[in-house]
Amino acid sequence: MHLALPPQFEDQLSQEDVRLGLALGLYVAGKLGFGRAAELAGLSRPAFQQSMAQRRLPMDYSMDDLAEDASALGLKPA
């Protein structure tokens, strides 16, 4: 997917800013889980969590997030 910004924003926002903003917005809206949002932002999970904390955004760590983390670590759910 390619997102084209209006010309007046291209000088103000980097590709990384747009990806992070989109990822944060989709996470807060409940459209993406934490891990997928971090992936979209191009950040590690700790770096994405730090970005959220800097903006004082709440972190909702759901059972789906736990399952996703467990899967990423190669763990099986209990």
Name the residue ranges covered by the structural domains of the chain: 14-72
pLDDT tens digits, residue range 44-58?
Answer: 999 999 999 999 998
pLDDT value at residue 27: 94
pLDDT of residue 39: 96
Tens-place pLDDT, residues 2-37? 778 888 888 898 889 999 999 999 999 999 988 899
3-state secondary structure the chain: CCCCCCHHHHCCCCHHHHHHHHHHHHHHCCCCCHHHHHHHHCCCHHHHHHHHHHCCCCCCCCHHHHHHHHHHCCCCCC
Q: What is the predicted pLDDT for the residue at 77?
A: 64
- Single pTM value for the model: 0.72
